[in-house]
Structure 1
Amino acid sequence: MATITVAEDDPKQSELIRLYLEREHHTVTVIPNGTDALAATRADPPDLLILDVMLPGTTGLDICRTLRAESDLPILMLTARSTEDDLLRGLDLGADDYVTKPYSPRELMARVRTLLRRTAPKEGPTTVGTLTIDSITHEVTVNGKRIETTPGEFRLLEVMAARPNQVFTRGQLLEHLHGYDAYITQRAIDVHVMNLRKKIEQEPRKPTKLRTVYGVGYKLTEDAP
């Protein structure tokens, strides 16, 4: 059971989402505008925020940007927009997953379960070189200094740190992060990698930890020159 906030201004959509979430024994709060949703989420963070992009008041994208600067709260975005650029923009702002309208309630619930499972604490710390990933405290440190990551970024590091030096294709990483989604492309992994390099690398344009294997994908290594 989880606490879930639904920021959705369409009464029929929000009621349907609430009913399906409550069937799975989650505690649900529905908020119909962006300004109140942002204030409520900041005051009492839920386990998951389901966030519509087009909200009156503060938009979903602005809410995502603000919350991601402050916390690693899992965010599942809902949008009628289905272009690749819109999806990547949301991921770049820190959203962990996207569902495009129209969607089936069963699909949405499957994505909720997957996201809650992926962001739940698992095992203890894993260290790769100067990088440590702690799945219990959900913390990442570089040289002992904590850095802030989104849940999606954390999951990517967690997956790769479990098998250091193994090359992962973008498709493999996408499956770990988002499962199958026809709308989320492998470019989403590049967005996560780019953002992570800004946080964990001394020189993001010359990475020594999260390295590119050209024509294949990415691998996480000790700080090799």
Structure 2
Amino acid sequence: MTRILIVDDEPRIAEPLIYALEREHFSVAHVALGEAALACLARDNVDLVILDVGLPDINGFEVLKRLRQSNEVPVLFLTARQDEVDRILGLELGGDDYVTKPFSPREVVARVRAILKRQGGNGSRSAVPLWQLDEAGARVLCKGEPLSLTRSEFLILAALLRHPGQVFSRAQLLDICDSDEDSFERSVDTHIKTLRAKLRPLQADSLLATRRGLGYYLESA
């Protein structure tokens, strides 16, 4: 089933869209913030994103800019600023289409179908997302490849994936491990070193970054 992510903080806009898309047999997820959208896209396979420009935390242009560093999923903008989006879409950001407010849900569904058709059916121009976090299965996939992780490595990487860009101190990561085997903060350094070694064949080790004197964080792309 084709998966659509709606990123909009206004229920009066999101709810009719969800209803209209689900009636057409799309699988729909909804988040209200840009950071939540980036986390979702890093974690899950999505075939198309419907993205509002005016979000409360970071605007839709910034979301798309960060997304395009690692993912080519098609993006349909929702906007009240037709002239600005027209210009942006023709430049470097890489949006696929836009709908200007006010609009009908049926128009959005038609635009979604047109984008998906251009993309060959399922809409994804990227074979797999950079990261996939499978909480239930306690595993992480990088570029579609499952990583062989110890319990502590999984817990550390999962925490970093849930909050890309956030710096975690050694003490915080040690608490996350919550294991008798990890009783010293320096053990966190060992786990990070091992994680980087496991990510190196996938050319993703540099994304596990150090903030000197503070701790570790995961680059957002």
8 Å CA contact 1:91–1:97 kept in 2: the answer is no
Query: Are 1:48 and 2:48 an aligned pair?
Result: yes
Shift of residue 45 of structure 1? 3.2
Q: Which amino acid aligns with 1:86?
A: V
What does residue range 52-91 of structure 1 map to in structure 2 within 5 Å? 52-83=52-83, 85-91=84-90
What does residue range 56-135 of structure 1 map to in structure 2 within 5 Å? 56-83=56-83, 85-92=84-91, 93-120=93-120
Using the alignment, how far apart are the partners of 2:94 and 2:125 within structure 1? Answer: 19
Shift of residue 17 of structure 1? 0.4
What does residue range 121-200 of structure 1 map to in structure 2 within 5 Å? none
Using the alignment, how far apart are the partners of 1:7 and 1:100 within structure 2? Answer: 15
Percent of aligned positions with the same letter in both sequences? 42
Give structure 2 stretches of 5+ with no counterpart.
128-221
Deviations 1:118-158 (A, max 9, x none): 11269xxxxxxxxxxxxx9879xxxxxxxxxxxxxxxxxxx
State the SS of the aligned residue for 2:17: helix
Residues 51 and 137 of structure 1: CA distance in aligned 2, closer, same or farther (over 3 Å): closer
Corresponding residue of 2:8? 8
Q: TM-score if structure 1 supplies the norm length?
A: 0.52
What is the root-mean-square deviation of aligned Cα atoms in Å? 2.2
Shift of residue 91 of structure 1? 4.1
Q: Which amino acid aligns with 1:89?
A: I
Give structure 1 stretches of 5+ with no counterpart.
123-135, 140-225
Residues 38 and 17 of structure 1: CA distance in aligned 2, closer, same or farther (over 3 Å): same
Q: TM-score if structure 2 supplies the norm length?
A: 0.53
Shift of residue 90 of structure 1? 3.5
Using the alignment, how far apart are the partners of 1:118 and 1:48 within structure 2? Answer: 12
Point out 4+ residue stretches in structure 1 off by more than 3 angstroms. Answer: 136-139
Using the alignment, how far apart are the partners of 2:31 and 2:125 within structure 1? Answer: 29
